[in-house]
Amino acid sequence: MTQSHTVQDHVGSSADLDFETNDARQEVVVIANRLPLRYSTSDVGGEWTPSPGGLVSALTAVLSESNGLWIGWPGATEYDSEPTYDGIRLQPVDITAEEYEEYYLGFSNATLWPLYHDAIRYPEFHRSWWHAYQAVNERFAKVAADSVAPGGIVWVHDYQLQLVPRMLRRLRPDVRIGFFLHIPFPAAELFMQMPWRKEILEGLLGADLIGFQVHTAAVNFSRIARRLTSAKGNAAVLEYDDREIRVGAFPISVDSAQISAKVDDPAIRERASAIRSELGDPELVMLGVDRLDYTKGIRQRIRALSELYSEGFLIPGRDVMVQIAVPSRESDAHYDVARRNIEQSVGETNGDLGLVGKPVIHYIHQNLPFDELVALYLAADVMLVTPFRDGMNLVAKEYVMAHSDMTGRLVLSEFAGAAMELTGAFMVNPHDLDGLKDVIRAAVSAPENTARARMARMRRSVLGRTVYDWADSFLGALRTDPVIAPLTVDESRPLTP
């Protein structure tokens, strides 16, 4: 989507359209920065298309079952039709062109995103971005306050909306408010850089339940909240403002049944075989699937592969890599630079090592249909998931679910939340290039029975906690008063040797 499609002046906004909203206030309301659909225009007119990303994949599965209301930004400020999606009621919230720059590209993606991902890129702090972030959060809070039934539940999602819980509580003290952070919550040493750290903590403390992907993030939050605000208590329960706030880990997951059904679909199995033929029937197919983001370690992965080809461990024609890099945040100059760097690395690797009709890396910068993604997962012998930091990483879990026959090997960064559960993966520190090469070698060369045992272990873990379990456990905890026991996830995972 080009920026001109994304941001236009405030003309023909949702206010002009007859969306059903306040006539029937909802028991369950979800607020996320994005709606599950986004509006884009081309020469042939405008259309709503699914938004990419893990949050959408997970919440679509959940909300279509509960017939709830989803409040979010539609990715455009000008649209001429009503979005409808799988039985979910959608309530668009508009943002202006300036807010898109300052709240979305600025504070959300150039301040919070890098800061919360271990400052892989230097986080920028600008007061005008902060003011826009406050204004947009206030708008979301007001829409939620108008939409939720008395005593209902509002579930707020992710780093773009951390101030909403407190704002909403002031408007609607009768509702239960949950907040879930999809990305990591950093250690104090990093979070303390944030000029508005106290305001963000107090914003989150407006919730009754604050959920994180992993235990470490929950502990980081509780510790910093006790240090910088008047909150008292322990890692799991805080007392603040005469209220009890529960904090815990709720690791997100995938719709295992949906993926299993696709894997059993003969058309998708045929497509997986066709993909291998189209790749030239190689012995080894390696795969990467990521939003094109500098946190995902795509370029590092390509460097490791390039060296493995140069050293002769991998052979052009015999071994191939497929990298799907889904377009993301394209109006951000840093993402443009990340894209150019990745494409330069792919070009150099193919130029140096590929043969006519046999590139070593097949690079696709497109959003593919999910069925095609599942066929690719099925076709891949080795999956490379090497983020420098990732809240969870659903791709890793989707790959595991696609291998019901126990084939497939997963190389997984120890800095992805998924590493806490997928202990059967070939674990890697992606900052260590030689280590990454060693682990890819180990994954490719592991004996069949070892690899199958690893896959079986990972499948048990994903099957034991699906996206529905994630939502049920979060909403269940939010609905009940007793002190929750935070989910126990085994954190004694094997680290890279």
Q: What is the contact surface with ligand GDG in residues (CB under 6 A)?
A: 52-55, 57-58, 182-183, 252, 289, 291, 324, 326, 367-370, 373, 390-395, 398
Minimum Å distance from CB 249 to ligand GDG?
Answer: 13
- Give the pair of three-digit tokens for residue 269: 């199995």
Q: Which is nearer to ligand GDG, 19 or 370 (CB)?
A: 370
Q: Which is nearer to ligand GDG, 86 or 98 (CB)?
A: 86
Minimum Å distance from CB 338 to ligand GDG?
Answer: 13
Minimum Å distance from CB 277 to ligand GDG?
Answer: 21
Q: Which is nearer to ligand GDG, 201 or 402 (CB)?
A: 402
Q: Which is nearer to ligand GDG, 115 or 252 (CB)?
A: 252
Minimum Å distance from CB 325 to ligand GDG?
Answer: 9
Minimum Å distance from CB 326 to ligand GDG?
Answer: 4
Q: Which is nearer to ligand GDG, 140 or 470 (CB)?
A: 470
Minimum Å distance from CB 287 to ligand GDG?
Answer: 11
Minimum Å distance from CB 57 to ligand GDG?
Answer: 4
CB within 8 Å of 222: residues ≥ 6 apart:
233, 234, 235, 236, 238, 247
Q: Which is nearer to ligand GDG, 181 or 455 (CB)?
A: 181
Query: Distance between CA 389 and CA 362 in Å, rounded?
Result: 25
Minimum Å distance from CB 409 to ligand GDG?
Answer: 18
Q: Which is nearer to ligand GDG, 57 or 220 (CB)?
A: 57
Query: Distance between CA 224 and CA 318 in Å, rounded?
Result: 51
CB within 8 Å of 383: residues ≥ 6 apart:
286, 287, 288, 289, 377, 395, 396, 399, 408, 409, 410, 411
Q: Which is nearer to ligand GDG, 48 or 240 (CB)?
A: 48
Query: Distance between CA 202 and CA 33 in Å, rounded?
Result: 20
Minimum Å distance from CB 297 to ligand GDG?
Answer: 12
Q: Which is nearer to ligand GDG, 53 or 317 (CB)?
A: 53
- Give the pair of three-digit tokens for residue 13: 């906004």
Q: Which is nearer to ligand GDG, 117 or 459 (CB)?
A: 117
Taking CB atoms, the residue at the shortest distance from ligand GDG is: 54
Minimum Å distance from CB 109 to ligand GDG?
Answer: 12
